[in-house]
Chains A and B, each alone.
Chain A
Amino acid sequence: MALIEYDSEMDINPMFASTHADVWQRLADCGTWWTGPQRVAAMSEVRAAFDCALCSERLENLSPSMIQGTHDFVSGLSEEAVDLVHRLTTDPGRLTQEWANATIGALGEERYVELAIIVCTQYVIDSFARCLGLSLAELPSPGDGIPSQVRPTDVGDVGAWVSQTVDKALANVSRAASLVPDTEVLWRDIVQCHYSRGPEFSELVWNRALSRPQVELLASTVSSLNECFY
């Protein structure tokens, strides 16, 4: 039985298809700190990072900082923005606070976080397609508008590299992107669809096609391969 009988997520599970279609288009909307065209440009850089010679060379070396150079960029985004997108896409386990501080210094804290949300959300959708042998979706058409540049008032230093909601409701990862709430909601939607699914997250026994231990085995394996401490 080969999965190539299926052309899209819709053939497999409508829940994924509808969520992906909705989130995918909203990724291209005007954000709080980046315009629609800039967000789609970032999405094009995510795709380009896999063919970037600098990223490949850095992955082969003990430390990415040992290799200097220019990324194979495909957009008009700044050098720092391209570096953030490419490194987060191809080598997330070796990001350092020193690098983050320099990037935040160049982009601004809010732009750093919004760009990170775009990359991470797109990565989930693209990865799902690759996992199932499906074609990657065409990049969405950028929306119009001018970023509002409104920073939430309930954020501050909670010990992470970026400001986050001061009130801790659940896991730290669930507030990691809270500095840009209007874009964070895309991230929440995709994680809810793929993994946590509302109150079910708090239950240790799940009634899905995979048991919770099976799901957590996959989660542990991916996190181990990515050398993710969290």
Chain B
Amino acid sequence: MSLLRASSEAIENEVKIEQLEDGANIEHGPALVRYAESAVRQDSDLPESRSHLLGVAGLQALVEAAATVSAFEGLNRLADVTGIQLDSGLADESADFRSELGIDAYAGAASTKSNGFAQRAGDVIGIFR
């Protein structure tokens, strides 16, 4: 979520992270979200959402989407099973929206001791300090 906001700001796109399920005001956002939801839930809707994304964004975009969805399926699992804490920069970067979006209620929140202080990092490296 932090990198979604930061990368959107970098191209001066007004992202709406509170509207994630509707695509967050990202180009092809609704099609991307629908595809990710179908893939993670392994819904019967997956072939249809895949065809829809293919139609609106093209084959290479679809392949990148599959690569990203699958990568985060793995990344989420590795983070959960090792009980890592949020980096202090990431805790600060996300402090202003985690509670509002319900992220602090996730089971994995118990692994992180500090809630952070709402402040923004200057770059990607700063987010993960």
Q: Which residues from chain A sit less than 8 Å from chain B, CB to CB?
A: 1-3, 12-13, 16, 84, 88-89, 92-97, 100, 113, 116-117, 119-121, 123-128, 130-133, 159-162, 164, 168, 170-173, 176-177, 187, 190-191, 193-195, 201-206, 208-230
> How many inter-chain residue pairs (CB < 8 Å) link A and B?
282
Shortest distance in angstroms between B31's beta carbon and chain A's nearest beta carbon?
10
Contact code string B39-55 (vs A, CB < 8 Å = 1, else 0): 11110001100110011
Q: Is the interface of A mostly helix, strand, loop or mixed?
A: helix
B118 within 8 A of A: no
Verify B65–A123 contact, CB threshold 8 A: no
Find chain B residues with CB under 8 A from A12 CB: 59, 63
Verify B23–A120 contact, CB threshold 8 A: no
Verify B86–A229 contact, CB threshold 8 A: yes
Contact code string B46-82 (vs A, CB < 8 Å = 1, else 0): 1100110011011111111111111111111111111
Verify B86–A172 contact, CB threshold 8 A: yes
Interface size class on chain B is: 35 or more
Within 8 A of A (CB), among B72-115: 72-87, 90, 103-104, 106-113
Chain B residue with the shortest CB-CB distance to A121: B74
Q: Shortest 5 CB-CB distances between A and B: which pairs?
A: A161-B83, A229-B108, A209-B60, A131-B66, A194-B71
Shortest distance in angstroms between B35's beta carbon and chain A's nearest beta carbon?
8
Chain A residue with the shortest CB-CB distance to B125: A202
Taking A212-B7, A222-B36 as contacts, is the C-beta distance between A128 and B85 under 8 angstroms? no
Verify A173–B28 contact, CB threshold 8 A: no
Find chain B residues with CB under 8 A from A202 CB: 123-125
Shortest distance in angstroms between B85's beta carbon and chain A's nearest beta carbon?
5
Q: Is the interface of B mostly helix, strand, loop or mixed?
A: helix
Verify B7–A210 contact, CB threshold 8 A: no
Shortest distance in angstroms between B12's beta carbon and chain A's nearest beta carbon?
11
Find chain A residues with CB under 8 A from B6 CB: 204
**B81 partner, pick from A100, A208, A209, A211, beta carbons under 8 A:** A100
Taking A204-B7, A204-B10, A209-B61 as contacts, is the C-beta distance between A132 and B66 under 8 angstroms? yes
Chain B residue with the shortest CB-CB distance to A205: B10
Shortest distance in angstroms between A56's beta carbon and chain B's nearest beta carbon?
12
Verify A16–B107 contact, CB threshold 8 A: no
Verify A162–B70 contact, CB threshold 8 A: no
Chain A residue with the shortest CB-CB distance to B29: A217
Verify B79–A228 contact, CB threshold 8 A: yes
With contacts A164-B84, A213-B26, A219-B3 known, what are 11 further pairs, Cβ within 8 A?
Answer: A93-B80, A177-B82, A203-B124, A209-B63, A214-B28, A218-B68, A218-B69, A220-B1, A222-B68, A222-B73, A224-B103
Find chain A residues with CB under 8 A from B54 CB: 1, 3
Verify B84–A173 contact, CB threshold 8 A: yes
Q: Complex: how many Å from CA A159 to CA B82? A: 10
Q: Complex: how many Å from CA A176 to CA B84? A: 7
